[in-house]
């Protein structure tokens, strides 16, 4: 704690800039103002106090002693925990503990995080402003400026020409298969280790999903298995970049060329992941994304298809809009759907695009911290990252070897739950789901599902919290 106190302490003769730096360093939203020399405590400065001082016209070079701040609630070393706990309230989350000379010797910090969720969206002022704009202007439905703006921004992010938004990732997948003309009598090769939507979208068209196993080193669809699954009826392959790790696209694209198959990348969980330095979603005929609340960025519910193919883009725009002829209102020559994204959803999307790079960076930083904390615990396999890949660790997921670790992934999940740490099992293989139940034996994905556990993966987690989670895992063992 001494180090922390030092980090956030500023002499009253220091500048407001120094206070801001201290607030930033400490990560607690506050700095401690002390008298130079004696180090006697003067007061606690919050980031709000600094903001108000700057708005009043004080400059960054002004002396920190001139920042107005309310009288600070402090504790003394002789107080017990109950007395100190009673001092916390909604705005008061840090209470300095003073010795008899009024020097800060400890900090009581209200730990807001007694529960760590697996995922939570990162939303802020921009999201609120843009959504409010929709409400205030009345543009709440699927017409409105945010829809095209989001489509253009997201396509540019992926390095593709066109972005076609939709009401969800699942409807995006459905649209992509419809645009390819896939239907009854056709087969589409999909990994069994994925969320159910990948297969369901194929089934919606009347075609048959054909399930194949994963590679143990990437957890993604195994190109060798795809080749074995291709028949005269196969029309497309849907590689899924599962949990944020890219599928091995080169051999998949080779197979697609050899057998003349379309490729739709399911990148629902992998916004910004890189395969050989290039963003996923830009390799196949189309790439599809989800913006559900637990994804890298969110629009509440929502999806997007990106493509360089103008013809496919146009078809999907028509299909998502009741099949209406773009040149003739209420004229329908194809069976279409109402799969449009609303302006409110897109407003969230445009705001989220401001943060997407930062979210991805934070995901990768958090993954490194997790791996550091877990790497020496016997019986734990860390998530993969192939040499050609940049994983974005949508959900940081590990495998538990029951014998070596001493308990199953399910038991570990239960133990962590008791400690306020939420986990999720990895996807049960789709070929074993009651609606498909093909009777196949696909050992890799069955093992991933049996042994896998996703840990809290919110970008709101800080290093101390990740350390707390990895320590708990080590202690439970």
Among 134, 190, 264, 268, binds ligand PLP (CB under 6 A): 268
Number of C-beta neighbours around residue 272 at 10 A = 23
Our CB check for ligand PLP shows the closer of 169 and 429 to be 169
H runs (alpha helix) in 354-477: 356-374, 402-405, 409-418, 443-451, 463-476
Distance, CA of 439 to CA of 192 (rounded, Å)? 12
Closest CA to 407 of 453, 361, 363, 352: 453
Q: Output the six-digit token pair for 347.
A: 């407003």
Shortest Å distance, C-beta 288 to ligand PLP: 7
Residue 292 interacts with ligand PLP (CB under 6 A)?
Answer: yes
With CA atoms as reference, report the closest residue to 6 among 106, 111, 100, 109. 106
Site for ligand PLP in 14-43 (CB under 6 A): none
Q: At what angle do helices 125-137 and 343-353 cross, to 10 degrees?
A: 150
- The answer to the question of residue 369 lying near ligand PLP (CB under 6 A) is no
* Using rule CB under 6 A, residue 303 touches ligand PLP: yes
Position of minimal CB gap to ligand PLP: 169
Give the separation between CA 162 and CA 232, rounded to whole angstroms.
Answer: 31
226 burial (CB, 10 Å; 0-12 / 13-18 / 19+) is buried
For residue 38, give the DSSP letter.
T
Stretch that binds ligand PLP, among 19-27, 135-143, 266-274, 340-348 (CB under 6 A): 266-274
298 counts as binding ligand PLP under rule CB under 6 A: no
Q: How far is the CB of 228 from ligand PLP (least distance, A)?
A: 22
Q: Which of 67, 75, 240, 395 binds ligand PLP (CB under 6 A)?
A: 240
Least gap, CB of 431 to ligand PLP (angstroms):
15
CB of residue 128 vs ligand PLP: minimum separation in angstroms? 22
* Chain Cα centroid distance, residue 45: 33
Q: E strand or H helix at 271, and its extent?
A: none
* Beta carbons of 10 and 65 less than 8 angstroms apart: no
Least Cβ distance, residue 198 to ligand PLP (angstroms): 5
Exactly one of 49, 266, 446, 465 binds ligand PLP (CB under 6 A); which one?
266
In the complex, minimum distance from the CB of residue 190 to ligand PLP, in angstroms, rounded to a whole number: 10
* Closest distance to ligand PLP from the beta carbon of 302 (Å): 7
Q: Which of residues 152-211 bind ligand PLP (CB under 6 A)?
A: 168-170, 194-195, 197-198
* 269 belongs to the binding site for ligand PLP (CB under 6 A): yes
Can you say whether the dihedral through the CA atoms of 413, 414, 418, 422 is positive or negative? positive
Q: Residues, the chain, total?
A: 477
104-109 and 162-166 strand pairing: unpaired
Stretch of 225-233, 250-258, 261-269, 272-280 lying at the interface with ligand PLP (CB under 6 A): 261-269
46 or 197: whose CB is closer to ligand PLP?
197
Nearer to ligand PLP, 49 or 266 (CB): 266
Nearer to ligand PLP by Cβ, of 9 and 198: the residue is: 198
Rounded to a whole number of angstroms, the minimum distance from the CB of residue 171 to ligand PLP is 7
Task: Give the integer Cα–Cα distance in Å for 459 and 294.
Answer: 11
Residue with tokens 């795809």: 226
Positions that interact with ligand PLP (CB under 6 A): 168-170, 194-195, 197-198, 240, 266, 268-269, 290, 292, 303
């Amino acid at each position: 704690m001494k180090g922390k106190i030092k980090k956030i302490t500023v002499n009253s003769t220091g500048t407001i800039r120094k206070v801001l730096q201290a607030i930033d360093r400490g990560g607690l939203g506050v700095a401690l103002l002390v008298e130079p020399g004696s180090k006697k405590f003067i007061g606690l400065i919050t980031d709000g106090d600094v903001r108000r001082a700057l708005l009043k016209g004080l400059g960054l070079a002004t002396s920190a002693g001139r920042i107005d701040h309310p009288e600070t609630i402090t504790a003394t070393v002789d107080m017990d925990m109950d007395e100190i706990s009673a001092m916390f309230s909604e705005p008061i989350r840090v209470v300095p503990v003073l010795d008899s000379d009024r020097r800060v010797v400890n900090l009581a910090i209200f730990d807001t995080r007694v529960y760590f969720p697996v995922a939570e969206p990162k939303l802020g002022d921009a999201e609120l402003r843009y959504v409010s704009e929709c409400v205030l202007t009345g543009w709440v439905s699927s017409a409105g400026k945010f829809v095209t703006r989001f489509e253009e921004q997201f396509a540019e992010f992926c390095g593709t020409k066109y972005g076609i938004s939709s009401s969800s990732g699942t409807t995006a997948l459905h649209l992509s298969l419809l645009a390819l003309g896939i239907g009854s009598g056709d087969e589409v090769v999909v990994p069994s280790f994925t969320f159910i939507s990948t297969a369901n979208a194929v089934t919606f068209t009347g075609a048959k999903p054909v399930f194949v196993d994963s590679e143990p080193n990437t957890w993604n669809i195994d190109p060798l298995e795809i080749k074995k699954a291709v028949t005269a009826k196969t029309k497309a392959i849907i590689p899924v970049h599962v949990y944020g790790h890219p599928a091995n696209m080169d051999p998949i694209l080779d197979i697609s060329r050899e057998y003349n198959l379309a490729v739709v990348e399911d990148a629902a969980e992998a916004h910004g992941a890189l395969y050989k330095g290039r963003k996923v979603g830009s390799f196949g005929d189309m790439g599809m994304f989800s913006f559900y609340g637990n994804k890298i960025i969110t629009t509440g519910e929502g999806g997007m298809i990106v493509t360089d193919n103008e013809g496919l883009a146009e078809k999907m725009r028509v299909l998502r809009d009741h099949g209406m002829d773009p040149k003739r209102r209420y004229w329908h020559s194809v069976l279409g759907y109402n799969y449009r994204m609303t302006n409110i959803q897109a407003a969230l999307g445009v705001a989220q695009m401001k943060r997407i790079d930062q979210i991805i960076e934070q995901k990768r930083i958090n993954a490194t911290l997790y791996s550091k904390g877990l790497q020496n615990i016997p019986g734990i396999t860390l998530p993969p990252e192939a040499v050609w890949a940049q994983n974005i660790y949508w959900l940081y997921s590990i495998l538990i070897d029951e014998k070596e670790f001493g308990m199953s992934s399910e038991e570990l999940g239960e133990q962590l739950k008791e400690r306020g740490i939420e986990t999720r099992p990895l996807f049960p293989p789709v070929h074993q789901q009651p609606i498909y139940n093909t009777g196949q034996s696909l050992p890799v994905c069955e093992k991933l599902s049996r042994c896998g556990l996703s840990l809290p993966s919110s970008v709101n987690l800080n290093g101390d919290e990740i350390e707390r989670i990895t320590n708990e895992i080590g202690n439970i063992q």
